[in-house]
Amino acid sequence: MESKEFIKKLKAYALKSSAIVAFILLWEAAPHLGLIDPIFIPPPSIIAAKIYQLLLSGELLVHTVASLERVFLGFIIALAVALPLGFLIGGWFKTFETAVDPLLQILGQANPFTLFPVFMALLGIGELSKIGIIYWVCQWPVLFNTVSGIKSVDPVYIKVGRSMGLTKFNLFKKVLLPAALPAVFTGIRMSAVFAFFMLIGAEMIGAHSGLGFLIIQSEAVFNMPKMYAAIVSVALLGIAINYVMLKLERRAMSWKEDVAV
C-alpha cells in the first residue's frame, strides 16, 4: 500500500516538474546544437557553475544581503505606516476616508519608476532614496487592502460584538482585526512582490551593491555568465520570499477553509 502511495506521489511530482525539466534540457542543448549563441545566452550548466563560484567567493552573499536589507527596511516602514493608516481610514473616520480616498487612489496609481528621479532628487542617490522608493511602492497594496478588508467585514460580526457589550477598542481587536486579516495579508504579500521588483529597478539605476547592481555591472563588463547568475538568483530569491509569505499567511490564518483554486 505504502509503496503504491509513494509511486503515486512520485508520478505527480514528475508531471509537475516535467515542463521545467524540459525547458532546462532544451536550453542546455540549444547552444551545443548551434541554435543560440552561448556568448549571449550561456547554457544552464555554466550559469549554475557561476552561481556556485559566486557563492564560494562570497560575492553573491554580499549582494543578496545588501538587497534584502533594502527590501526589508522599505517593507517594514511601509507596514508601519500603511497598516495603522488603513485601519484608521477603514474603521473609524468615514468622512476622512471620503476626503482622502481620491487623492490616495491617484498617488497609488502613479508609476513608481517615474517617481524614482524625484526620490533621488529629494533623498540623494544613497540608500535612503532606494529604501524610500521601496517604502512608497509597498504601502499602497497594504493600505488599499486593509481599508477594503475592514470595510467589507460582515456586519453580523459587528452586531454580535456590539450585542455582547464590547468596547470600541475590543470590537476592533476581537472582531474587525481578525475579520479583515485575510485581505490585509493579501496586501502584504502583494507588497513583498512589488518591493522586490522595485528594488532591482532601483539598484540598476544607481547603486554600488545589490543583485540589481550585479546584473547591470556584469552586463557593462560583458560578463554574461555572471549576469545570468545574478538574474537566476533574483528569481530564486523572489520565489523564496513568496514561499515564506505564504507560510506566514497559512500560520496566521490556520482557521481558514482550504479551497482548491
Among residues 34, 58, 102, 165, the one that binds other proteins under rule CB under 8 A: 165
**Own/partner pairs, 47-55, CB within 8 angstroms, 24+ separation:** 47/225, 47/228, 47/229, 47/232, 49/225, 50/225, 50/226, 50/228, 50/229, 51/229, 51/232, 51/233, 54/226, 54/229
Packed helices 2-32 and 44-57: angle between N→C axes, nearest 10 degrees = 100
Nearer to other proteins, 10 or 160 (CB): 160
Sites for other proteins among residues 240-259 (CB under 8 A):
253, 255-257
List the grid coordinates of 143.
Answer: 493600505
Nearer to other proteins, 40 or 169 (CB): 169
Sites for other proteins among residues 145-164 (CB under 8 A):
154, 156-157, 159-160, 162-164
**What is the length of the chain?**
261
Q: Establish if 94 lies at the interface with other proteins (CB under 8 A).
A: no
Shortest Cβ 164–other proteins spacing (Å): 4
Among residues 6, 170, 208, 240, the one that binds other proteins under rule CB under 8 A: 170
Q: Establish if 169 lies at the interface with other proteins (CB under 8 A).
A: no
Q: Establish if 208 lies at the interface with other proteins (CB under 8 A).
A: no
Shortest Cβ 255–other proteins spacing (Å): 5
Sites for other proteins among residues 177-196 (CB under 8 A):
178-179, 181
DSSP 175: I
Residue 100 CB burial class (10 angstroms; 0-12, 13-18, ≥19): middle
